[in-house]
């Protein structure tokens, strides 16, 4: 690591993304140039050359760190591993397939830092999505149902590009697929959230790890779980030291 401690940790979960990961790491480094940052890629037990391709880049990109799961544990766990290992007070997450544009990361960070102390998360909302029509329709329905039931004001929680305070994330209850419910869980803890439009790009290599049917099944289960968590929340407001 560079001598100066990072202020921003960019966390990227990857699984079988040998083709996308190296160029994505270079794009992130270029986007955050001039800032105190680190890049934390978490390899979720890839079966291809993702891990080797990333470790080979560490000489080229001194801010790059590579963490590796011994067993495949899923995207949410990989994100959490990266956040637990992160050294920055602000965390930026983005998907490892290259569809999120790293150039949008700094503006989310700037909006977060310019906001009030209780603004804990600034999420991206994808414009002109470069996905199949079936995926866009499924996402629109899922986001609509989730927003109506959880009242989290988020139009696109499936966007992997988010900036948030590490301390706030560590206060949240963890479960698999938590990354899609961060706005609702942040609000549950008494924080504010905000959202900004971000770019979305075609996937140029690899393949999606999700299907609409598979996503629907786990989403319904998780949605009811988050509703239960909201129903059990009791917020004390400000805490005074006596």
* pLDDT per residue rounded down to tens, the chain (242 residues): 445 789 999 999 999 999 999 999 999 999 999 999 999 999 999 999 999 999 999 999 999 999 999 999 999 999 999 999 999 999 999 999 999 999 999 999 999 999 999 999 999 999 877 566 666 666 676 767 777 888 888 888 889 999 999 999 999 999 998 988 999 999 999 999 999 999 999 877 766 655 555 566 667 778 889 998 999 888 888 888 88
Pairing status of strand 119-126 against strand 90-93: unpaired
d(CA 80, CA 175): 10
Q: What's the pLDDT at 1?
A: 47
**pLDDT for residue 130:** 57
Structure tokens at 23: 């160029």
Question: What separation in angstroms does the CA of 186 have from each of 32, 105, 165, 208, 230?
Answer: 25, 20, 10, 28, 11
What is the per-residue pLDDT for 156?
A: 87
- Can you tell me the distance from the alpha carbon of 20 to that of 24, in angstroms, rounded to the nearest whole number? 6
pLDDT of residue 205: 77
With the C-alpha atoms ordered 15, 20, 26, 32, is the resulting torsion angle positive or negative?
negative
Collect all residues with Cβ–Cβ distance below 8 Å to 198 and sequence separation of at least 6: 100, 101, 104, 108, 124, 125, 126, 127, 159, 161
Task: Please name each of the domains of the chain with its CATH number.
Answer: 8-231 (3.90.550.10)
DSSP symbol at 5: P
Backbone angles phi, psi at 115, to 5 degrees: -85, 180
Q: In what order do the strands lie in the sheet with 37-43?
A: 64-68, 37-43, 8-14, 90-93, 162-165, 119-126, 192-198
Q: Model's pTM, two decimal places? A: 0.87
């Amino acid at each position: 690591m560079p001598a100066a401690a990072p202020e921003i940790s960019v966390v990227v979960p990857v699984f079988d993304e040998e083709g996308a990961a190296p160029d994505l790491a270079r794009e992130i480094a270029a986007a955050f140039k001039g800032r105190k940052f680190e890049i934390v890629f978490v390899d979720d037990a890839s079966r291809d050359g993702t891990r080797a391709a990333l470790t080979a880049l560490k000489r080229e990109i001194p801010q790059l760190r590579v963490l590796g799961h011994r067993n495949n544990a899923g995207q949410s766990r990989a994100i959490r591993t990266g956040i637990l290992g992160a050294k920055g007070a602000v965390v930026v997450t983005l998907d490892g397939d290259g569809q999120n544009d790293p150039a949008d990361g700094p503006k989310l960070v700037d909006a977060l830092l310019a906001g009030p102390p209780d603004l804990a998360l600034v999420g991206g909302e994808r414009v002109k999505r470069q996905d199949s029509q079936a995926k866009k329709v499924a996402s629109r329905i899922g986001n609509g149902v989730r927003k109506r039931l959880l009242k989290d004001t988020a139009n696109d929680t499936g966007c992997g590009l988010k900036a948030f305070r590490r301390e706030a994330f560590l206060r949240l209850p963890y479960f698999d697929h938590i990354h899609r419910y961060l706005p609702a869980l942040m609000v549950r803890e008494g924080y504010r959230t905000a959202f900004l439009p971000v770019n979305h790009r075609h996937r140029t290599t690899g393949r999606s790890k999700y299907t609409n049917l598979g996503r629907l099944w786990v989403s319904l289960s998780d949605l009811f779980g988050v509703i239960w968590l909201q129903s059990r929340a009791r917020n004390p407001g400000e805490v005074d030291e006596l």
